[in-house]
Amino acid sequence: MHANDVDLDSCAREPIHVPGSVQPHGALLVLDPADLRILQVSANVADIAGTDAAGIAAVLSSELAAWKASGSLPARLVAPGYPLDIAVHLHDGRVIVELERAASEAMDDPFARLTAFAQQMAGNIDLGDALSAAARLIVQLSNFDRALVYRFDADWNGHVVAEAGNGTLPSYLDLRFPAGDIPAQARDLYRLNPLRLIPDADYTLVPLLALDEEQGRAPVDMTFTQIRSVSPVHLEYMRNMGTLSSMSISILIDGRLWGLLACHSRQPHIVPVRVRDACNFIAQSLAMQIGAASRAQTAAIGVELGRLHTKLLASMADAERWDDGLANAPDTLLAITRASGAAILSQNGFSRVGDAPDEEAVRRLTQWLSENGIASDVYATDCLAAAGFYDRTVTETACGILACRISESDDNWLVWFRPEVIRTVTWGGDPHKVVRESGRIHPRKSFEAWRESVRDRSAPWHEAEIGAAHDLRASIVEIVLKKAEQLARLAADLQKSNKELEAFSYSISHDLRAPFRHIVGFSQLLTEREKNLDERSRHYLKMISDSALAAGELVDDLLTFSHLGRATLATGKVDMNKLVEEVRLGLAEDIKDRAIEWRVGDLPMTRGDGALLRQVWHNMIENAVKYTRPRAPARIDISGETVDGGLLYRVQDNGVGFDMAYKAKLFGVFQRLQRSEDFEGTGIGLALVKRIVERHGGSVDATGTVDGGACFTFFLPVLPEE
Amino acid sequence: MSDLRPILLVEDNPRDLELTLTALEKCQIANDIVVARDGAEALDFLNQDGAFATREPGDPAVVLLDLKLPKVDGLEVLAKVKGDRNLRHIPIVMLTSSREEQDLVNSYELGVNAFVVKPVEFSQFFKAIQDLGVFWALLNEPPPKARQRGGS
């Protein structure tokens, strides 16, 4: 919002299309379309036409009837014997006839110059050159002192982008004029009626007179007339500018008022209808040129943005996650909106490229955006401060943002940043200055250049860039949805395969154990039954039975191992000293013939699943016992201590040890470092230890040397109490 | 104890059946052993239905029930017996290869009287069967009403 919007509000309320009067260089007749009866006339008909209203109406009657019969479109008429330029149109239920004196002196036919101009426009001409050429030609044709090409910005401020003149009037090139200088209803009239002429700002207005008692008093809508009397505010404005005559022609692009060709002279200056038509032609050619150039530019930007969009899509497709994909293509990400920095917030965290505020600042910004409901999907501003966000940590890096909310539920954002651009704008006078005079607001009296530094603003976001943000957001949303679908499918597949695995291990538990049991059972029955078997036969039977027993144990161990993957931990306080004591008691029978020196330290308490941790101790101590079998005495040290972040337990022995080169295999399933005839076992014990410890969030480790003993440790983090 | 009630052994696997029968025989339990080869047969015996419609009335001293059975599996048989007012006093020992915790939990929830995982080692298996037979067939006193039913 500009402060000066308010200033000319009163001006904006003036009903300028029904002034009730005309300028003195033309005369007006208002007729009833049904019977062409005269309803109103301007007081100067006789002055302009050389005869009174009834007289001229009589001269025109047959032409008017023909005009009416052919559809009543705006047209030029000829009154034989009267040197008049006559225009007629039907509007708001009235036939409106405008009369102007025809040009008296012979003038150059503008046709040749117009053709040259049209050819120039059709060629490959730069837009700036086209604007200047149009201004020059208009000055030549119309003999105004100066012609400006006046372009509206998004806020309807005017900017003089091209100029031509004879030097009588000061240059306004590159000056800006506040939006209020041409209020909304004036811009509406410019859009509807492209040409407007004021030959003399000091004119005396000519009132309309009612000739018909009934209908003559209704106000006449003069939107489409050329000789409409203009607002006194505007005349004052012209006098302030030091110009007594003006003509403006609208430049419309796709129905929107792009700008004006504004002509001025210091002195009163009248331009005949034919010249005005030529100038109008120039303006329309220029509009086509501007439209084509802007469409070409939009197309070029579109192609470029499409290329960048494709690159980002490819990068996102290559990456696991969309945010990584964007962060992996930082240059493209910045180029697509011509930003200097970007930040991405997703459930995976925060990343930024280029010149962007830090995570905390970005989070404050997105919070502000969502709290203010500003960003439903895409939001752009070139001035955060003006939008109400005052956070120096953000604004010192970026004054303008283009923010995309990717998903509302997860609070995912993509935000582009642009830094402050201190622009120096040269206004035609102080745009903030209001002149008040007995309750009425007047336009600025001074047109001296007035410079203003625009702070806290970035370069504005182009419509195409905001469009690109919309498109990119849509793509990301699609990718996120697709990824979510994939994940859901994957989860379903995993669940299914987990179920299958469970069914598989269940089946093993039942069906694989049974035959081993049968082999053992029948071979033992046979052994008992045949008392006379020789030694070798008994040995074979024992081998059969032992093998089946070992296989049965293997199945049991495997089941325990696979079971561990899915069983939930029954966490509680665990006295490790007690567990170690129980394990040693359990092994007592097996080691009653062994000479083992035990050294068991005081073990710190922990939290965990007691039954599983007993299994850990069992496997580790059993291993130590097993691999010290060749030692007499064997020495087994068990200790534990509090370390950083948790507890470390250790079982050390003086057994056969292992080669550190194979350490990586130690904790794998079915990995054995010893020959089975030397040391029995299924190769699952340490894998089980590792799995249990890892399920507690801990880790295992081992050191050893061949024949120099081994030391196994496991670390358990301190688990939070529930 | 002249009216020694039979033991109902429900087992589909012929080798397991042979081993179990051998084990029961070895521990010199005098009770008759009635064999059912699937859950449906076991229920027919208990309900005096189907092939067992004309059998001598009376409940078995104990049912040794394998978990995995054709037609009606062990858990279903267990659920039916324990859900039947007339049958639920009959002791049921689940004999199974399964070390699956869930089977154990389910069985106890359904009111099993004992749950035995068949050991791979035969001597252990033999001892387990022997203990079961002695406890449930000889030592266990059924509730009075059931004894009347069995004796009639």
User: Could you tell me which chain A residue has the CA closest to the CA of B17?
Assistant: A518
Q: Residue A510 is nearest to which of B15, B98, B121, comparing CB atoms?
A: B98
| H or E element that contains A177 | strand A176-177
Query: Which amino acid, residue A521?
Result: G
Check B101 against A516: CB less than 8 A apart: no
- Give the per-residue pLDDT at A202: 92
Check B120 against A553: CB less than 8 A apart: yes
Taking contacts as CB-CB distances below 8 angstroms, the residues of chain B near A520 are 120-122
Instruction: Give the mutation candidate from A518, A528, A566 for the B interface (greatest B CB count, under 10 A).
Output: A518
Check B19 against A521: CB less than 8 A apart: yes
Check B16 against A517: CB less than 8 A apart: yes
User: Could you tell me which chain B residue has the CA closest to the CA of A512?
Assistant: B97
Taking contacts as CB-CB distances below 8 angstroms, the residues of chain B near A559 are 99
- A363 contact partners, CB below 8 Å, separation of at least 6: A345, A350
Taking contacts as CB-CB distances below 8 angstroms, the residues of chain A near B123 are 524
User: Could you tell me which chain B residue has the CA closest to the CA of A509?
Assistant: B98
Q: Residue A518 is nearest to which of B15, B98, B121, comparing CB atoms?
A: B15
Query: pLDDT tens across A49-105, in order?
Result: 989 989 999 999 999 999 999 988 999 988 888 899 999 999 989 999 999 998 766
Taking contacts as CB-CB distances below 8 angstroms, the residues of chain A near B100 are 506, 509
Q: Report whether pLDDT(B148) > 70.
A: no
Query: pLDDT tens across A464-512, in order?
Result: 889 899 999 999 888 888 888 888 899 888 888 877 877 777 777 777 8
The more confident residue out of A22 and A254 is A22
* A16 and A189 Cβ atoms separated by less than 8 Å: yes
| Cα B9 from Cα B6, distance rounded (Å) | 9
User: Could you tell me which chain A residue has the CA closest to the CA of B13?
Assistant: A514
Among A146, A150, A149, which residue's Cα sits nearest to residue A166? A146
Instruction: Give the number of C-alpha atoms closer than 13 A to the C-alpha of residue B80, restricted to the C-beta side.
Output: 15
Taking contacts as CB-CB distances below 8 angstroms, the residues of chain B near A552 are 120
Taking contacts as CB-CB distances below 8 angstroms, the residues of chain B near A524 are 122-123
Check B19 against A563: CB less than 8 A apart: no
The more confident residue out of A304 and A424 is A304
Check A516 against B121: CB less than 8 A apart: no
User: Which runs of consecutive H residues, i.e. helices, occur in B27-115?
Assistant: 39-47, 74-82, 101-109
Q: Residue A521 is nearest to which of B100, B101, B122, comparing CB atoms?
A: B122
| Cα A4 from Cα A260, distance rounded (Å) | 21
- The whole-number average pLDDT for the span A310-319 is 89
| Cα A214 from Cα A436, distance rounded (Å) | 41
Quote the Cα angle for A116-A122-A128, to 5°: 90
- Give the per-residue pLDDT at A41: 93
* B37 and B66 Cβ atoms separated by less than 8 Å: no
Q: What is the mean pLDDT of chain A?
A: 85
- Give the per-residue pLDDT at A566: 66
Instruction: Give the number of C-alpha atoms closer than 13 A to the C-alpha of residue A432, restricted to the C-beta side.
Output: 7
Q: How confident is the model at residue A245 (pLDDT cuts 50, 70, 90)?
A: very high
**Chain A closest-CA separation from residue B104 CA (Å):** 13
User: Could you tell me which chain B residue has the CA closest to the CA of A523?
Assistant: B122
* A373 and A409 Cβ atoms separated by less than 8 Å: no
| Cα A249 from Cα A239, distance rounded (Å) | 20
Among B47, B60, B44, B66, which residue's Cα sits nearest to residue B112? B66
**Chain B closest-CA separation from residue A496 CA (Å):** 19
Which residue has 């104990």 as its token pair?
B62
Quote the Cα angle for A682-A687-A692, to 5°: 130
Q: Report whether pLDDT(B152) > 50.
A: no
Check A567 against B99: CB less than 8 A apart: no
- Give the per-residue pLDDT at B1: 43
**Chain A closest-CA separation from residue B140 CA (Å):** 28
Count helices and strands in chain A by DSSP H and E runs: 21, 29
**Chain B closest-CA separation from residue A521 CA (Å):** 5
Check A517 against B118: CB less than 8 A apart: yes
Distance of CA A98 to the CA centre of its chain: 54
| Cα A721 from Cα B22, distance rounded (Å) | 53
| Cα A240 from Cα A444, distance rounded (Å) | 8
CATH code at B7-147: 3.40.50.2300
Quote the Cα angle for A273-A275-A281, to 5°: 105
| H or E element that contains A208 | strand A206-210
Handedness of CA A56, A57, A61, A67 (dihedral sign): positive
**Chain A closest-CA separation from residue B47 CA (Å):** 28
Give the B-side interface with A, CB within 8 Å: 13, 15-16, 19, 22, 67-68, 96-101, 118-123, 125
Query: pLDDT tens across A430-472, in order?
Result: 666 655 555 455 566 666 666 777 788 888 888 888 989 999 9
Give the A-side interface with B, CB within 8 Å: 506, 509-511, 513-518, 520-522, 524-525, 545, 548-549, 552-553, 556, 559, 563, 567
Query: pLDDT tens across A663-702, in order?
Result: 878 887 666 667 666 677 777 788 889 989 988 889 999 9
Instruction: Give the mutation candidate from A525, A560, A609 for the B interface (greatest B CB count, under 10 A).
Output: A525
**Chain A closest-CA separation from residue B24 CA (Å):** 13
Taking contacts as CB-CB distances below 8 angstroms, the residues of chain A near B121 are 520, 549
Q: Report whether pLDDT(A174) > 60.
A: yes
User: Which runs of consecutive H residues, i.e. helices, occur in A209-329?
Assistant: 232-241, 273-318, 322-327
Q: Report whether pLDDT(A7) > 50.
A: no
Check A548 against B99: CB less than 8 A apart: no
User: Could you tell me which chain B residue has the CA closest to the CA of A505?
Assistant: B100
> By three-state DSSP, how is residue A50 classified?
coil
- Give the per-residue pLDDT at A499: 79
- Give the per-residue pLDDT at A393: 81
Q: How many CB pairs under 8 A join A and B?
A: 59
- Give the per-residue pLDDT at A12: 59
Query: pLDDT tens across A532-559, in order?
Result: 888 888 888 888 888 888 888 888 777 7
Handedness of CA A129, A135, A138, A143 (dihedral sign): negative
Taking contacts as CB-CB distances below 8 angstroms, the residues of chain A near B97 are 509-511, 513-514, 517
Q: Report whether pLDDT(A241) > 60.
A: yes
- Give the per-residue pLDDT at A439: 47
Q: Report whether pLDDT(B32) > 60.
A: yes
- Give the per-residue pLDDT at B151: 38
Query: pLDDT tens across B45-82, in order?
Result: 999 988 888 888 888 988 999 988 888 888 999 999 99
Check A513 against B97: CB less than 8 A apart: yes
Query: pLDDT tens across A565-609, in order?
Result: 666 778 888 999 999 999 999 888 888 888 999 999 999 999 888
- The whole-number average pLDDT for the span A216-244 is 87
Among A406, A333, A392, A409, which residue's Cα sits nearest to residue A358? A392
Q: How confident is the model at residue A371 (pLDDT cuts 50, 70, 90)?
A: confident
Listed by start position, the domains of chain B span 7-147
| Cα B16 from Cα A167, distance rounded (Å) | 119
